[in-house]
Amino acid sequence: MTMLVLTLLGPLLAALAMFTLRRMPEVLALTGAVFGFAGALGLFVAVSDGVVVSISLPFLPDFPIRLVASPLTATLSMVVATVAAMVLIYAAGYMRKDPERVRFFGTMLLFVTAMQALVLSGDWITLLAAWEMMGFASYLLIGFWYGRAGVASAAMRAFLYTRSADLGLYIGVFILIGMSGTSEIAVTLISTGTPTLVAGVLLLVAAMGKSAQVPLQDWLMRAMAGPTPVSALLHSATLVAAGAILLIRTAPMLPDGVLLVVGIVGGITAVITGLIALAERDLKRLLAASTGSQYGLMLVAIGAGAPIAALLHLIAHAAIKSSLFLGAGVFQHDRDGTGLETLAGAGRARPGIFAGFAIAALALAGIPPLAAFFSKDAIIAAALDSTAAPWLLPLALAGSVLTGAYMGRALNVLWDGDAGPVQVPVPLMTIGMGILVALATGLGLGFGALEHMLGAEIEKPGWIVPAMGLAVGLAGLILGWFVPPARLLGPLLTPAQNGFAVAGGMDGLILRPALAIAANCEAMEQRLLLAQVGTVRRIGLGTAQLAEHADAALFAFSLWVGQLSMRLGLASKFTDTNGIDAAIFGFVQRMIAAGAQARRLQSGFIHRELALTAIGIALIVAGLLAAPYYS
Amino acid sequence: MIPELIIALSVGAALFGVGLYGALSQTNLVMIIMGVELILAAALVNLVAFWRYLYPDVPAAQMFVLIVMAVMAVEMAVGFGIAIARFRSRGSVEMEEARELKG
C-alpha cells in the first residue's frame, strides 16, 4: 500500500514542490521520478510474489476510489515509471536552455501522475478522472511552446479529437456501472449481454480516439508540435497507450463481435498509418504515424483474443518508441529541425546515438533477438489462430512489412548524406536514451517470466510464425532502405501524404459535429435552466440574494466604520493644521513683523536718535514729576 | 526760596535748552558735540548752584562736579576722535550722509 501511494504521490508532490519553489526543476523532477519508479518497482516485486495490493478510499456513496496493483496493472505501472524516469533524465539535457523549465517539468510530472492513476485505477470513476487529467496535461504539454506558429491549434486539435472520442468512454462507463451497480472494474468485466456489447463499442471509440486509430489518426501527427521528450512520453507508454490499455483491461468483457471490430480497426490502422509513415517528410511525424500503426497491431492482437500479446507489444513498443523519439530529439537539436531533408546524414555525425536509433528501429521491425521480435510474433501467431484469421493475418503482415519499410527509410535518410560538423557530446540525453535502448534490446528475454506472472502463457509457436515475422520485417527494411517511397507507394503516395483524410478529413468528422453538439448542448442547457430547473434556480437565486443582502449590510457597516475613522483623521488633521500649527506660525509671523517695525526706528540718523533720546528722557521726567499725583 | 538759586537754575535751564536745540538741529558732528557739551555744562551749573545755595557744607558735591568735568573731557576726546576718523575716511563730518549705524 505504501508503494501504491509512493507511485502516485512521488511525482505529484515533486510537481507541487516545483511549482511552489520555482527553482531546481531538474533535480525535483528526477527525485519525483525516482520515487515513483521505486514505488512501481515495489509494487511489481510485491505482485510477482502473488500479492494483490489494493487501496480503497471513501468517495461517493457506494463508489469508493479504488487503486489496484494486479499483475497487469503493476506491470503497466512499471513500464510507465521506467519510461518516465528515462525521458525526464533526457529532458534535463534537452530542455537545458529553456527558460520555462519549471512549467515543463511540473506538467510532465503531473502527466506521469495522471497516467499512473489511470493504470492503477481499480474503479471506473478513478479511471475517468485520470483519463481527463491526462488529456488536460497532454494538452498543456503539446501546447508547451504556445508562442510558436501552429502549436496552440495543434494542442487544441489533439484535445478536441481525444475529447470527442472520450464521450464513448463516458457513456460506456455509465452503462457498465448502471448494469452492475458498482464501479469496480474487476466486477463489471464479467457482465454479458447487449448492453455490454454497446458499452464495448463505446469503449472502443474512446480507445480509437486516444490511440489514434483510423479514422481519428490525424491528431497524433500534429501533436508533434510539442517538445521531443513530450512526444517520447506521450507516444510510448502514456497517452496513446491509454486506449490500448483500456482495451487490454476490458478484453475479457468484450463480446466476439466487438473483438472482431477491434481487430479490423487495428489492422486497417496498422496499414494506413504505416503508409502515412512511409510517405512522411518529417522524422517526428514519421515516428508519430508509426505509433498509430503499432497500436493498430496491438488492437489486432486484442481482436484476435490475445490481449497478453498486445501487452507484450505495448511494453516492447514503449521502450523502442521512446528510444526512437529521444534519438530524433538529439538529431533535431543538431540540425534545428526534423524534416527528413534537413536530417540527411545527421546519423554520421553521432555514431553512438545513431547506433541506438538503429537498434531501436531494427527492434521495431522485428529483428531477433530484439524485444519486438517476440511480441510481434505473438501478435502474428494470435492472428493466425484467430477465427478471423483471413481478415487479421494479412493486415498484421502488411502492417509489419510497412513497419520495416518506414524504419528502413528513416535509417537510410539519417545515414545517407553529409555528416556535417562534429557535434558536442550530450551526456544526459545519451544516458536517458541508452538505458531505453538497452531495454528495447533485452526486454524480450523477460517476456516468458512476465507471461508466467500474468498467468497467461502464450503457446510457443513453431518455426513458421517466427520465420514469417522475420521475413516480413527484413523485407520491409530492405524495401525501405533501397526503394524510394514514391516508387514504393505509387498512386497511394498523395493520399498517404495527406494523411488519408476520410469523410471530409478530421475536421469534417470531428470538429464540425463537436461544434454542433456544443451549440445544441448550450441551447438545451438554456431551456433546462429556464423551464425544468426553474424552481431550483429560483431557490438558488433567493439564497444568493439573501447572501447578497447580508453581504451588502456587512459592506455598508464596514464602509461606515471606514468613513468614521476617515472623518476622525480629517478632524485631527484640521485641528493640527489650523490650531497648533497656525498658532506657532502666527506668533512667529508677528515677531518678524514687529522686528521689521522696530527696524524702521533705527534710521541711522544721529540727530533723530538724539531726538528720540530726548523725547524719552522728557517722558521719564514727566513721569517722575507726576509721581506725587498718582502714587 | 533763595532768589540767587532761581537765577542760577534759570541760567542752567537756558543753557540746557540751547544745547539741546544745537544737538538736534545741527547736522555737523562737531556742532552736535558742542550741543552735548552745552547740555553737560547746564547740568554742572545746576549741580554747583544746588551745592552753593542749599548744602554749602558738603564737599562731596564739589568732587562730583570735578568727576563730571573729567568725564566731559574724556567724552570730548572720544567724540572728536570719531569726527577726525570720519573726516579722514570720508572727507566730511555731515551726519546726514552717515547712516552706517542703521539697523
Three cell numbers, residue A470: 522475420
Same domain, A342 and A399: yes
- Length of chain B in residues, anyone? 103
Same domain, A311 and A334: yes
Average pLDDT over residues A432-439: 87
Q: What is the pLDDT of residue A534?
A: 66
* Residue contact B103–A607, C-beta within 8 A: no
pLDDT value at B102 more than 70? no
For chain B, give every domain's residue range.
3-93
What architecture is the B3-93 domain classified under in CATH? Answer: Orthogonal Bundle (1.10)
* Residue contact B99–A599, C-beta within 8 A: no
* Residue contact A604–B27, C-beta within 8 A: no
Q: Are A293 and A421 in contact (CB under 8 A)?
A: no
Same domain, A514 and A582: no
Same domain, A387 and A327: yes
Angle made by CA atoms A335, A336, A338, in degrees to the nearest 5: 85
**Cα distances (angstroms) measured from residue A253 to each of A192, A199, A329, B101:** 7, 10, 40, 123
pLDDT value at A210 more than 80? yes
DSSP symbols for B16-30: HHHHHHHHHH--BHH
Same domain, A378 and A490: yes
Q: Does A606 touch chain B (CB under 8 A)?
A: yes
A165 is a domain residue: no
A416 is a domain residue: yes
DSSP symbols for A336-371: T--BHHHHTTHHHH-HHHHHHHHHHHHHHHT-TTSH
* Residue contact A605–B32, C-beta within 8 A: no
Q: What is the pLDDT of residue A522?
A: 81
Same domain, A505 and A492: no
Same domain, A445 and A470: yes
* Residue contact A604–B102, C-beta within 8 A: yes
**Residue range B15-55, pLDDT digits in tens:** 999 999 998 888 888 898 899 899 999 999 999 999 989 88
Domain boundary among A532, A553, A585: A532
At A504, is the pLDDT very low, low, confident or very high (cuts 50, 70, 90)?
Answer: very low
Angle made by CA atoms A265, A266, A269, in degrees to the nearest 5: 85
At A442, is the pLDDT very low, low, confident or very high (cuts 50, 70, 90)?
Answer: confident
pLDDT value at A240 more than 50? yes
Contacts of A610 in chain B (CB under 8 A): 23-24, 32
A374 is a domain residue: yes
Q: Which long-range CB contacts under 8 A does A45-51 form with residues at least 24 apart?
A: A46/A3, A46/A74, A47/A71, A47/A74, A47/A75, A47/A453, A48/A453
pLDDT value at A487 more than 80? no
**Residue range A37-50, pLDDT digits in tens:** 999 988 888 888 87
**Cα distances (angstroms) measured from residue A178 to each of A95, A158, A167, A246:** 47, 30, 16, 19
Average pLDDT over residues A514-534: 75
* Residue contact A607–B95, C-beta within 8 A: yes
Three cell numbers, residue A16: 507541487
Nearest-CB residue to B102 (from A598, A602, A607): A602
A378 is a domain residue: yes
What does the alpha-carbon distance between residue B25 and residue A201 come to, in Å, rounded to a whole number? 134
Same domain, A338 and A414: yes
What is the domain extent for residue A287? Answer: 255-497
A510 is a domain residue: yes
Q: Comparing C-alpha atoms, which of A500, A83, A89, A455 is closest to residue A274?
A: A500
**How close is the nearest chain B Cα to the Cα of A586, in Å?**
24
Same domain, A409 and A271: yes
A615 is a domain residue: yes
**How close is the nearest chain A Cα to the Cα of B97, in Å?**
8
pTM for this predicted structure: 0.68
A447 is a domain residue: yes
At A62, is the pLDDT very low, low, confident or very high (cuts 50, 70, 90)?
Answer: confident
* Residue contact A604–B29, C-beta within 8 A: no
A44 is a domain residue: no
Q: What is the pLDDT of residue B6?
A: 92
Q: Does A605 touch chain B (CB under 8 A)?
A: yes
**How close is the nearest chain A Cα to the Cα of B23, in Å?**
7
Contacts of B102 in chain A (CB under 8 A): 602-604
Same domain, A517 and A483: no
Domain boundary among A476, A497, A518: A497
Q: Are A325 and A231 in contact (CB under 8 A)?
A: yes
Q: CA nearest A617 in B: which residue?
A: B20
The total number of structural domains that make up chain A:
3
Nearest-CB residue to B99 (from A601, A605, A611): A605
Q: What is the pLDDT of residue A560?
A: 92
DSSP symbols for A205-225: HHHHHHTT-TTS-HHHHHGGG
Average pLDDT over residues A382-403: 86
> How many other β-carbons are positioned within 10 Å of the β-carbon of residue A41?
18
What does the alpha-carbon distance between residue A207 and residue A299 come to, in Å, rounded to a whole number? 10
Same domain, A478 and A573: no
Q: Mean pLDDT lowest for which of A63-67, A366-370, A410-414, A601-605?
A: A601-605
pLDDT value at A401 more than 80? yes
Average pLDDT over residues A458-473: 78
Same domain, A604 and A578: yes
Q: Is the peptide bond before A425 cis (omega within 30 degrees of 0)?
A: no
Q: What is the pLDDT of residue B84?
A: 92
